[in-house]
Amino acid sequence: MKLSTAVLLFLGILALVAGLPHTYDEKGSKVFRVVNTAQVENGLEKLQHLQVNENFDFWTRPNLKAATDIFVPPHRIEEFETYMKDNGFTYTVMIPDVGKLILQEKALNKQGPDMDWDNYQRYETILNFVDQSALSHSEIASVEEIGRTIENRPMIVIKIGTPVANKTKPAIFMDGGIHAREWISPALTTYFINQLVNNFTSYDDMLSQVDIYILPVANPDGYEYTHSNASGARMWRKNRRPDVSCPGVDLNRNFGYVWGGPGTSPNKCSEIYKGTQAFSEPESTAIRNFIQRKSIEGVNWRAYFAIHSYAQMWLVPWGWTYDFPQDYEDLVRFGNAGVAALTPVHGTRYDVGSVTELLSPGAGGSDDWAKGSGFFKYSQTVEVRDTGEYGFILPPSQIKDCALETWEAIRAIAKFLDEE
């Protein structure tokens, strides 16, 4: 046996032992929508089995209330359809060819060097934009590097607010882009930054109501990877922790509150791989450390926002259990205040409720940690547009509409916190 053959064989066995990696081309991949989970005996468990044990990439969480969207690469379509039929599931084809949709998106998306909200921009462009915004408005904004990613990219937080004498203002923290493929998220966080810093005369009120800390891209390694031409790259979700068979940890399963609980996987090939231990990843650790340090320095944390796509849902804790926090009613009231301002803009509807009530468990999220650690009363994951027509491949032409309406929600929330 030649040495190279032996090496390949060894790597192959290693991959088998570790679980099979998701290597696929998006070409010919489909997104199926399961519509009758509640009518299937043990339907939820059967879907969870597909996600956790069979490593299918779920675009929406297994759940009983709404449809569940599942990404299936061409070589697994037969296996998937057989499982569906054998178990009595009914489904529709939501996206017949993901590869085609990605090519269309690429053709429409014009990138850099200047920041805009008609296109999805690269991390470099985003970094320059955030630095420039702070530099040109240093009276209200400042930027801080809160850590470095696995691939040594800087993670930056911009703080925006006007000082108010004799008052500890309520503070908001926002993480964007923790899941690489959810491109709309960094587009929104940067839009909010732009509104606050570059249009600040219009939002003077808001800047004296709250201090807002925005981490526009929490997973820049993953984000940049999704912009590469590697096969399957556009649909990357996790960070880029290297591994011979299956790189990446799901950062939104790596936070240290009931870490490793329901809806997480110990298999590093899974899209919901929790990592080797709580806060094993530099990206989640940087967020925790920043929030802890600011709290010690006297920041009055009140609201935590994790910006994700897609579902059009305003999700509050808990994400790890079907139980509700004791102040659940308050959290829902807060969410309703946001959605009440959002929907009138274009009629876009959002559901408000707990993660497990509207979806299903997923422990180790930043939202649960923000609440469970006691730093934030109001913690939420906002799943923005759409409801599955394009899913993660939301056309760039929808960025501004999505930004405009969610921005109204953030403004309403600032007012809520100020009046509280």
C-alpha–C-alpha distance, residues 390 and 396, integer Å: 11
Contact 175, 287 (CB under 8 A): yes
User: How far is the C-alpha of 243 from the C-alpha of 295, rounded, in Å?
Assistant: 35
Are 223 and 247 in contact by the 8 Å Cβ rule? The answer is: no
Biggest alpha carbon–alpha carbon distance for the chain: 77
The DSSP code sequence of 164-225 is -TT---EEEEEEE-SSTT-THHHHHHHHHHHHHHHTTTTTHHHHHH-EEEEES-S-HHHHHH
Mark residue 323 as left, alpha or beta (left: phi above 0; alpha: psi -120 to 50; beta: remaining).
beta
- Residue 300 pairs in a beta bridge with 170
Work out how close the CB of 319 gets to ligand ARG at its nearest, in angstroms, rounded to a whole number.
2
Q: What are phi and psi of 366, to 5 degrees?
A: -65, -30
278 belongs to the binding site for ligand ARG (CB under 6 A): no
Contact 209, 169 (CB under 8 A): yes
Residue 383 annotated to the active site = yes
Query: Applying CB under 6 A, which part among 72-80, 106-114, 184-192, 360-368 lies near ligand ARG?
Result: 360-368
Which range of residues in 123-131, 136-144, 200-208, 365-373 is near ligand ARG by CB under 6 A?
365-373
Query: Which option in ligand ARG, Zn ion, none does residue 355 bind, with CB closer than 5 to 8 A by kind?
Result: ligand ARG
For residue 177, what are the β-bridge partners?
none
Contact 123, 153 (CB under 8 A): yes
Binding mask 289-318 vs ligand ARG (x if CB under 6 A, - otherwise)?
-------------------x------x---
Nearer residue to ligand ARG within complex by CB, 116 or 271: 271
CB neighbourhood size of 78 (10 A): 10
Least Å distance, CB 252 to Zn ion, is 6
Burial 24-57 (b: 16+ CB within 10 A, else e): bebebbbbbbbeebeebeebeebbbebbbeebbb
Does 284 help bind ligand ARG (rule: CB under 6 A)?
no
- Look at residues 251, 119, 240 and name the one whose alpha carbon lies nearest to residue 190: 119
- Contact pick of 101, 157, 214, 355 for ligand ARG (by CB under 6 A): 355
Q: Which position among 105, 383, 405, 408 bears the catalytic label?
A: 383
Interface with ligand ARG includes 381 (CB under 6 A)? yes
Q: How many residues bind ligand ARG (CB under 6 A)?
A: 10
268 near ligand ARG, judged by CB under 6 A: no
We find the least distance from the C-beta atom of residue 310 to ligand ARG, in angstroms, to be 9
The distance of closest approach from Cβ of residue 226 to ligand ARG in the complex, given in angstroms and rounded to an integer, is 16
Can residue 61 be called a binding residue for Zn ion (CB under 5 A)?
no
- x/- mask, Zn ion, residues 154-193, rule CB under 5 A, reads -------------------------x--------------
Q: Should residue 371 be labelled a site residue for ligand ARG when binding is judged by CB under 6 A?
A: no
- Minimum distance, C-beta of residue 313 to ligand ARG, in the bound complex (Å): 9
Scanning 121-129, 137-145, 359-367, 410-418 for contacts with ligand ARG by CB under 6 A, the matching segment is 359-367
Closest CA to 102 of 118, 78, 120, 115: 120
For residue 147, the partner it binds in Zn ion, ligand ARG, none, with Cβ less than 5 to 8 A by kind, is none
Q: Which position among 29, 133, 239, 252 is part of the footprint of ligand ARG (CB under 6 A)?
A: 252
Catalytic positions, please? 383
Q: Which residues bind ligand ARG (CB under 6 A)?
A: 252, 308, 315, 319, 355, 362, 365, 367-368, 381
